[in-house]
Amino acid sequence: MAGVVTVGKSALAKVNIVISQGADNVYQFRWSTRDEDTGVTTPVDLSTATARAQIRAKVGAAVWTEMTTENGGVMLGSDGLITVLLQDSVTEAAEWNTYKTGVWDLEIDQDALVTRFAEGTATVYWDVTRDPA
């Protein structure tokens, strides 16, 4: 019998993020392909794609927040650049004082083909400085 072959993976990238509560959190990635014969990398044109990312305490739990191309939380470029923005105004909400460690992922929908680009843990570091009440 030949060796075991495994195909597919959960996500293209395993990325653990740190969320600084009360600050704008910006995460950037670049999606490109590499020609194995020539070694040339080419950015994936994401200008017509859409994306969404969610953070939760665990898989199946309530959503802490969702960033999408529609709400400005995910921006995609023709140069393969992916920017995920978690704004300070989101993490300043009172419920974020109870969040500590969770999970997140980022899915990109291009031409009706959804790819889980990144997944990992999300760790919240609480802030001390607050707006006066």
Catalogue all structural domains in the chain, each as residue range(s) with its CATH number: 19-125 (2.60.40)
pLDDT at 132: 72
- pLDDT of residue 5 exceeding 70, the answer is no
* pLDDT per residue as tens digits for the range 42-89: 999 999 999 999 999 999 999 999 999 999 999 999 999 999 999 999
Residue 45: name the closest of 34, 32, 35 by CA. 32
**Residue 46 φ/ψ, nearest 5 degrees:** -105, 15
Amino acid symbol at 113: L
pLDDT at 59: 96
DSSP class of residue 25? E
Q: Which two tokens stand for residue 15?
A: 């990325």
Other residues' Cβ atoms within 10 Å of the Cβ of residue 129: 7
The arithmetic mean of pLDDT across residues 117-123, rounded, is 97
